[in-house]
Copies of this chain bind each other. A is one copy, B any other.
Amino acid sequence: VSIATVSRVFNESPRVSEKTRIRVLEVARALHYQPHVSARSLANKRSDLVLAVIPMLTNYFYMEVVRGVQDSLADSDLDLLVYTAQAPEQVDGQLKRAMQRGRAEGILLFSTPLNESRARRIKQGGQPVVLVDSQHPAFDSISIDNKSGAEAATEHLISNGRKRIGLITGNQASIPARVRRAGYEAALQKAGLAVDPSIILVSEATHQHGYTEKVGFASMNRLLHMSEPVDAVFVASDIQALGVLRALREAGRQVPGDIAVVGFDDIQISAYVGLSTLRQPMYEMGRKAIELLLRRIEDPTLPIEHLEFEPTLIVRETSGHRASLPDQA
């Protein structure tokens, strides 16, 4: 019963005889011995910890991503330390806290646009970082192709025979909001349809970047009171789309008869209300994020990688396939 030997046993060193190995293990169990994590990590210079900095964990999108993260992590001996904010403004604080803890194997940073100062601070930490749902040239990232998603949504509505398609989206301070708008406009132009700014409703709200049920409700009502009515709306987020549907219901409009609606995100509720939308492969993104992070931890010299997932169009009741007239745009 030595001491270095015990260490060797617990680290599965081959340089220990089967006999003593078993003996040590037995005694350890009898004594309820547990190697001390901090001491290990001090001697090792590794922490077995992955940090996740998440705005609004309470969001279905993040939950699902975290589920993927956890599943991936389960195969390794890494544990997950979660820092959540209640609002984007708090992200910086949580990030600082996470970086202070330092010495984590790596950090997953969710949905946080990186300006140069932020990027520099993070680089300085010297820890591997993977960006989830945002991008920056200096870091590995996992994101989704918002533009092509928005295009797909809009094209779907066009091929449904819709002629006047409105857009309801979030605050243009949000990058996804801008990109989704770009995709919408691109699809219209590709189809030779006019882009009419009067039916593009961009939220001015800062709370949640305007991605709320309320904003959707109000925006749809504005759209309804316009002289030249729309026959479809692409709503850049499902949560807003819920408000849109409520406005339509209260106004007595048929969906998709009078007006078709397509959202974005495929949050959990969407399936229940029959909302057509674009699904992001959230779980897969979580798995991939850890994969990227582990790869980077193993070899920090690897070239930076940007993975972009394609959202997939889910057609439900709010945008049923219309008896399509021959398309003579």
Inside 8 A of A312's CB, which chain B residues have their CB? Answer: none
Q: Kindly state the separation between the CA atoms of A274 and B88 in the bound complex, as whole angstroms.
A: 30
Which of B49, B58, B79, B273 lies in contact with A64, CB distance below 8 A? B58
Residues in B neighbouring A42, C-beta threshold 8 A: 36, 38-39, 42
- Name the B residues within 8 Å of A38 (CB-CB): 37-39, 41-42, 47, 103
Measured between alpha carbons, how far is A18 from B213 in the docked complex, in Å? Answer: 52
How far does the alpha carbon of A101 sit from the alpha carbon of B36 in the complex, in Å? 8
Most buried by B among A38, A67, A84: A38
Within 8 A of B (CB), among A142-199: none
- Interface of chain A, main secondary structure: helix
- Mask: chain A, 49-85; 1 = CB below 8 Å from B; 0 = not: 1000000011000011011001100000001111110
Chain B contacts of A254 at CB under 8 A?
none
A127 CB, min distance to chain B CBs, angstroms: 11
For residue A15, give the distance in angstroms from its CB to the closest CB of chain B: 24
Residue in B36, B83, B86, B242 whose beta carbon sits within 8 Å of that of A272 in the complex: B242
Interface residue ranges, A against B (CB under 8 Å):
32, 34, 36-39, 41-42, 47, 49, 57-58, 63-64, 66-67, 70-71, 79-84, 86, 97, 100-103, 124, 242, 268-269, 272-273
